[in-house]
Amino acid sequence: MNTASTSPKQGALPAIGFGTWPMDDAEAATAVAEALRIGYRLIDTAAIYGNETGVGRGLRESGVARGDVVLTSKLRGAEQGYDEALRGFDATTRRLGTDHVDLYLIHWPLPMKDRYVDSWRALIRLQQEGRVSMIGVSNFQQAHIERLQRETGVLPAVNQIELHPDFAQPALCSWLAAQGIAIEGWSPLGRGKPQGQVLETLAAKHGRTPAQVALRWHVQRGVVPIPKSSKPERMRENLDVFDFSLDAEDMAAIATLDGDHRQGGDPDTHVEE
Ligand SMILES: NC(=O)c1ccc[n+]([C@@H]2O[C@H](COP(=O)([O-])OP(=O)(O)OC[C@H]3O[C@@H](n4cnc5c(N)ncnc54)[C@H](OP(=O)(O)O)[C@@H]3O)[C@@H](O)[C@H]2O)c1
């Protein structure tokens, strides 16, 4: 049953996506089918999540046309390198049960391995072969992306990075926007119910929940947030942010929350298998 309108677009991407970590195959199959029926049109998974099989199943069971969905997956660290990335992509498509991925990302730069440029060349080839529509990166800093451009001449279409009201990364976001690189925000709610007086005051002002205020803030900054929920009522709540807006004062109040509150790994040092 389709109970909400479909996510509008932000450039080439739906304005809000659906995250699937940490779901196993069974949970992902149920949640993805439900999210698509509710109106999400961007689904985010990754080889390392171990749920691509379930995500593919949910997509097929949803009844939503494959061509209407931006299916995203990511290359894991252990499969970085040119040949390894091509093999990693093949394995991803087998698990997803599709021969085409709409958006394929390098999950982490892993600069200590120094293989992300070789991996990027593999993604460029996959795009040239028509097996991927858009290629991008995740957790890349400006310097990592500048190196990709210097050595391959190809900029990523997307950088998926950690973003929430108390970790807003304004300098990196401005630079990405200036390059025309779309920004996706992971952990957009800060990995749970957003709290604090500013968000609660704005929620009361707009008759919304703090989660909706946080997601609306992402959208108005030009970021595509990818909240995860296993609960259909929250899936709906998180998509229902397109009929109100935050004014300049609201946006400025949320900007005061920004600080050094990274919850995930530091891209320069994070090790991911
Ligand atoms: N590229 C990367 O390195 C990377 C890293 C981390 C995550 N990601 C992606 O980003 C997605 C989202 O990030 P995340 O899962 O870390 O964090 P998140 O989406 O900020 O938060 C998810 C948590 O918030 C709860 N929640 C969802 N909607 C809510 C609402 N309206 N009110 C209160 N609580 C709510 C969920 O619980 P319930 O499920 O119980 O509702 C879950 O515990 C992941 O699923 C994954 O696809 C990418």
Cα–Cα nearest to 23, from 191, 229, 266: 229
Which ligand 1 atom minimizes the distance to the CA of 161? 1
Which of 49, 82, 104, 116 is flagged as catalytic? 49
Pocket of ligand 1 (CB under 6 A): 19-21, 44, 107, 138-139, 160, 186-193, 211, 226-231, 234, 237-238, 264
Confirm if 272 and 48 have CB atoms less than 8 A apart. yes
Confirm if 20 and 55 have CB atoms less than 8 A apart. yes
Q: Please list, in sequence order, all residues whose beta carbon lies within 8 angstroms of the beta carbon of residue 224, skipping any fewer than 6 positions away.
A: 10, 13, 14, 15, 16, 17, 42, 182, 183, 184, 185, 218
Q: What is the pLDDT of residues 195-235, one digit of tens each?
A: 899 999 999 999 999 999 999 999 999 999 999 999 999 99
Q: Which residue's CA lies nearest to atom 23 of ligand 1?
A: 192
Residue 104 falls in the annotated catalytic set: no
Amino acid residing at 167: F
Identify the residue whose tokens are 């310097």. 143
Which ligand 1 atom minimizes the distance to the CA of 231? 41
Q: Which residue's CA lies nearest to atom 34 of ligand 1?
A: 193
Q: What is the pLDDT of residues 25-66, one digit of tens each?
A: 999 999 999 999 999 999 999 999 999 999 999 999 999 999
The two tokens of residue 98 are 């599709």
Query: Which one-letter DSSP state was computed for residue 106?
Result: E
Instruction: Spell out the domain ranges in the chain.
Output: 13-189+223-229
The two tokens of residue 53 are 């099989």
Q: Which residue's CA lies nearest to atom 21 of ligand 1?
A: 191
Cis? peptide before 22, omega within 30° of 0: yes
The superfamily in CATH containing domain 13-189+223-229 is NADP-dependent oxidoreductase domain (3.20.20.100)
What's the N-to-C CA distance of the chain in angstroms?
38
44 strand-pairing partners: 19, 72
Res 193: pLDDT: 81
Q: What is the pLDDT of residues 147-201, one digit of tens each?
A: 999 999 999 999 999 999 999 999 999 999 999 999 999 999 999 888 899 999 9
